[in-house]
């Protein structure tokens, strides 16, 4: 599904996520306080979880991995992630995305 808007896609977006590692499957869970909860299968060891998050976001927003940056929370569960030049914003995540432009 695509983001429905009369405006063009933003050049930069921000996500505030709460990460649940070692889940049975990758899934967008729902709001967790002021952050959106993302369950991932990767363990929180040696950067595997961060790599997995970047790969998952790359597929979700159809953007190159180099355009995704963990701005805050590289070593924790609470992460602030920026994505430059997304080509898709799924409808179910439109409320999660903060447009930076």
- Report residue 16 as tokens: 């505030």
Where are the domains positioned within the chain?
A: 12-99
The CA distance from 85 to 46, in Å, is: 28
Is residue 58 pLDDT above 90, yes or no? yes
The CA distance from 20 to 41, in Å, is: 9
Determine the Cα angle at 94 with ends 67 and 19, to 5°. Answer: 65
The DSSP H or E segment spanning 14 is strand 12-20
The alpha carbon of 35 is separated from its chain's Cα centroid by a whole number of angstroms, namely 11
The alpha carbon of 27 is separated from its chain's Cα centroid by a whole number of angstroms, namely 11
- Whether this prediction's pTM lies above 0.85 is answered by yes
pLDDT band at 7 (very low <50, low <70, confident <90, very high): low
**At the topology level of CATH, where does 12-99 sit?**
Conserved Hypothetical Protein Mth637; Chain: A; (3.30.1200)
Q: CB–CB of 13/94 below 8 Å? A: no
Instruction: Provide, rounded to the nearest whole percent, the portion of the chain with pLDDT above 70.
Output: 93
Q: CB–CB of 97/15 below 8 Å? A: yes
């Amino acid at each position: 599904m695509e983001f429905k808007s009369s405006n063009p896609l933003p050049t930069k977006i921000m996500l505030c996520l709460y990460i649940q590692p070692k889940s049975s499957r990758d899934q967008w869970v729902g709001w967790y306080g002021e952050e959106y909860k993302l369950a991932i299968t990767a363990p929180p060891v040696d950067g595997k979880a961060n790599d997995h998050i970047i790969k998952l976001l790359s597929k979700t927003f159809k953007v190159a991995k180099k355009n995704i940056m963990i701005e805050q929370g590289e070593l924790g569960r609470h992460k602030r992630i920026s994505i430059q030049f997304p080509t898709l914003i799924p409808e179910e995540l439109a409320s999660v995305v903060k447009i930076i432009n």
